[in-house]
Chain A
């Protein structure tokens, strides 16, 4: 064997995938084989549902019926495409904007409304849903994803773990640490970078000097690719392939999309970005292009749209009703801290009950 003093050379290239363009024309040669028109119709319906639930939560927040809320509008293709690519057994790990993923994975919307109304009970989905709760500190969910993926390997479940992170999140140490761990462990972790161009007021170009976010995976020896995050077909195909490949190690997909609304309801994006930029992205709307595609195929029309909107509106309103009927029990704060009730907590609970702190507050 020859002795070489040279380090192994490394050459990286990030592939970009788009299947359906802004006019709703799909490149049939790239179309996933398993994707029937009825499945594309499902995708469309879930995207419309996600946007409708989003608009509803925003309006509830404006009426004081929900706490601070992080809207998803504009990011439907990234969320629905990836969610529908998951298998039943796969587990998803969100940060705080993936309401569309929850809905497409069959989460009862009342859980989401309950969460945004400010109750932990909205985060207590049974384990069968294969979904972790909303996580607020940016990128701190990434190592959980790596550990969960490692556990799937150890427990031989055959499941993959799909973790979501934003463009800003890729600047955090936890992002790299998680990819690095998953890489060493060859754990079945698929990371979806939901690059919506803005981390509150900081644009993508000020977040990193890296040309793509996907290439950050390469530093950890993990394959990364970029897709048109407003193209539900591309997101679906990339995620499905990545889940399959993750049996041999982690995968990263950067979905290039756009946050069409504010970071959260506490934010005013007009302070830091131009209307012209927002208008340009509106032309790339992820829902519109699927509708154009379906219309061209004779699968969709205004009457169907109206019927769908009415059906979804009732579904959402029923869920809001259920969420608003929820009665909080302050005792549950105390009984879910440890696996048992320590004396110190019991005393604090007894004092609160004795003092009648909560009277009239929780009916």
Chain B
């Protein structure tokens, strides 16, 4: 089937719900309305109101009740309408979803997939464009994934719903309908914790994910540089093996993400490369990210998010370093 990311996730949810009747969806406006981005469109009509639930407007309630359902043996898929609103339920994810398995020595795992749209570039209101992946990754115990293609979105969702873990499933708003691609009609899995090479090269490595992945791919194609473009797909647990393999191969690494620079995912990757492969590098690791302050109003976002020029200049800069 030809699918954009919205239809790919919708399809993954439908197939998974057919496979496992303990999977239920819940969230604000996800039933009759099909979600503000239409990701759950048609699913309530297919599965009924007991499996696709419109909830009261309360993020902590949605996430906390989902944890309760998971503890009771169900596999809930809560949707939080925008990542910026998920902080109202942050306590439930950090205090409970991340540590219930460990707290009970695996007697009570928390199988659930928390879906939320992330990142900007689509001129939305304040709090609708946050990139919170580092927060959820830092605690440990939460699996954090962020697909950049319809194919990966479907396969990661199917895999996440077959796992016995809490998964934070971040869906880049900008990529929801950016492009379509051919994906299999049937169920298939994309592994969790495995990055994917979007292109292979020998001169440098660009490590990225989410909204920045298609942008980096375009810049690399336009500049005709020979680059590994590594799409993480899973932020936590990090695919350290793939990162180090590429870093060692090319000796030049740029990390590109939309989330702000300081204390971000880029810092984690750079540190791991420094610890394990610094003597194999030809140039210092570079980071391209948004500046270190909260996401601005939409009028300013084009000055905030890394663009093609910023990525292109970083490539020129790192290639100019003589080893």
Residues of A within 8 A of B (CB): 91, 120-121, 123-127, 132-133, 135, 137, 140, 142-152, 154-155, 173-174, 177-178, 180-181, 184, 332-333, 336-339, 342-345, 347
Q: Which 9 A/B pairs are nearest by Cβ-Cβ distance?
A: A147-B68, A143-B64, A151-B72, A177-B61, A342-B237, A147-B65, A144-B68, A124-B105, A148-B68
Q: How far is the CA of A126 from the CA of B106 in the complex (A)?
A: 10
A339 contacts B56, CB within 8 Å?
Answer: no
Inter-chain contacts of A174 with B (CB < 8 A)? 60-61, 64, 91
A146 contacts B65, CB within 8 Å?
Answer: yes
Q: How far is the CA of A120 from the CA of B239 in the complex (A)?
A: 29
A143-B92, A154-B50, A345-B237 are known; give 9 further A-B pairs, CB within 8 A.
A120-B104, A123-B103, A143-B63, A147-B66, A147-B69, A173-B58, A177-B58, A338-B141, A339-B165
Pick the residue among A133, A146, A338 that contacts B61 (CB under 8 A). Answer: A146
A-B contact pairs, 27 of them (CB 8 A): A124-B105, A125-B104, A133-B104, A140-B91, A142-B64, A143-B60, A143-B63, A143-B92, A144-B68, A144-B96, A148-B69, A151-B74, A154-B50, A154-B69, A173-B58, A174-B64, A174-B91, A177-B64, A180-B56, A181-B58, A184-B55, A333-B102, A336-B102, A336-B106, A337-B141, A338-B143, A343-B240
Q: How would residues 118 to 130 of chain B score, 1 for a CB under 8 Å from any chain A CB and 0 otherwise?
A: 0000000000000
Among B68, B76, B96, max chain A CB count under 10 A is at: B68
Segment 65-80 of B: residues with Cβ below 8 Å from A: 65-74, 76
A148 contacts B61, CB within 8 Å?
Answer: no
The verdict on B184 contacting chain A, using a C-beta distance below 8 Å, is no
Q: How far is the CA of A174 from the CA of B92 in the complex (A)?
A: 10
The verdict on B238 contacting chain A, using a C-beta distance below 8 Å, is yes
Known A151-B68, A181-B56: A140·B95 in contact at CB below 8 Å: yes
Q: Size range of the interface on B? A: 35 or more
Q: How far is the CA of A144 from the CA of B112 in the complex (A)?
A: 13
Q: How far is the CA of A186 from the CA of B202 in the complex (A)?
A: 61
Q: How far is the CA of A148 from the CA of B109 in the complex (A)?
A: 14
Q: How far is the CA of A152 from the CA of B165 in the complex (A)?
A: 21
What's the count of A-B pairs with C-beta under 8 Å? 138
Pick the residue among B71, B143, B241 that contacts A144 (CB under 8 A). Answer: B71
Inter-chain contacts of B164 with A (CB < 8 A)? 339
CB-CB nearest in chain B for A127:
B107
B65 contacts A143, CB within 8 Å?
Answer: yes
Among A154, A174, A184, max chain B CB count under 10 A is at: A154
Among B65, B70, B193, max chain A CB count under 10 A is at: B65
The verdict on B24 contacting chain A, using a C-beta distance below 8 Å, is yes
CB-CB nearest in chain A for B99:
A337
A177 contacts B96, CB within 8 Å?
Answer: no
B104 contacts A140, CB within 8 Å?
Answer: no
B61 contacts A143, CB within 8 Å?
Answer: yes
Q: How far is the CA of A181 from the CA of B60 in the complex (A)?
A: 11
Among A120, A338, A342, max chain B CB count under 10 A is at: A338
Inter-chain contacts of A124 with B (CB < 8 A)? 104-107
Residues of B within 8 A of A (CB): 24, 50, 55-56, 58, 60-61, 63-74, 76, 91-92, 95-96, 101-109, 140-141, 143, 163-165, 193, 237-241
B64 contacts A140, CB within 8 Å?
Answer: yes
Nearest-CB distance from B192 to chain A (Å)? 9
Inter-chain contacts of B237 with A (CB < 8 A)? 338, 342-345
B55 contacts A342, CB within 8 Å?
Answer: no
Known A144-B64, A177-B61, A178-B61: A150·B106 in contact at CB below 8 Å: no
